[in-house]
Amino acid sequence: MVSQTWVFRPFTPAQGPAGAVTFLNEPDRQGPGEASATARNDNSVGLFFLEPGSLGSSNAQAWAYRNFTPAEGPAGAVAFLNDAPRQGPGEASAFARNDGSVGLFYLEPGTG
């Protein structure tokens, strides 16, 4: 396996979570535990990721993003992560914001 290195990439509010998801699903795709993303209140995203990703061009799993409102909050995100098929180790990167909302990047389908 090729040696992986951590890299950081910012996404502007215009690119937002959709831009980060598109990037994560391009070859060489990041697998479980190879990405940590923060979706901020202004719609910008900070993404730490390992490159090259271990999924290569495989499409067995795909990165997705879901925003949970303050009413749904962390409890809604936890319930979602535990729904079948559950996300296993390294298959989710969540950020609970100070307004009660949650930004969640996750691999689907989960393997847990």
Mind listing the pLDDT tens digit for each residue in 51-104?
999 998 988 899 999 999 999 999 999 999 999 999 999 999 999 999 999 999
φ and ψ of 81, to 5 deg: -65, -25
Question: What token pair was written down for 103?
Answer: 């930004």
- DSSP 8-class letter at 71: T
- pLDDT score of 1: 56
What pLDDT is attached to residue 39?
96
pLDDT band at 110 (very low <50, low <70, confident <90, very high): very high
Cα(76)–Cα(82) distance, rounded to whole angstroms?
10
| pLDDT of 59 | 86
pLDDT band of 2, cuts 50, 70, 90: confident
Encoding tokens for residue 64?
């997705």
Mean pLDDT of all residues belonging to the chain: 95
Is residue 19 very low, low, confident or very high in pLDDT (cuts 50, 70, 90)? Answer: very high
Q: How far is CA 8 from CA 11, 85, 111, in A?
A: 10, 29, 26
Q: Average pLDDT for residues 7-34, to the nearest whole number?
A: 97
Q: Per the structure block, which two tokens stand in for 24?
A: 């994560």
| Residue 9: Cβ within 10 Å count | 14
Residue predicted with more confidence, 56 or 8: 8
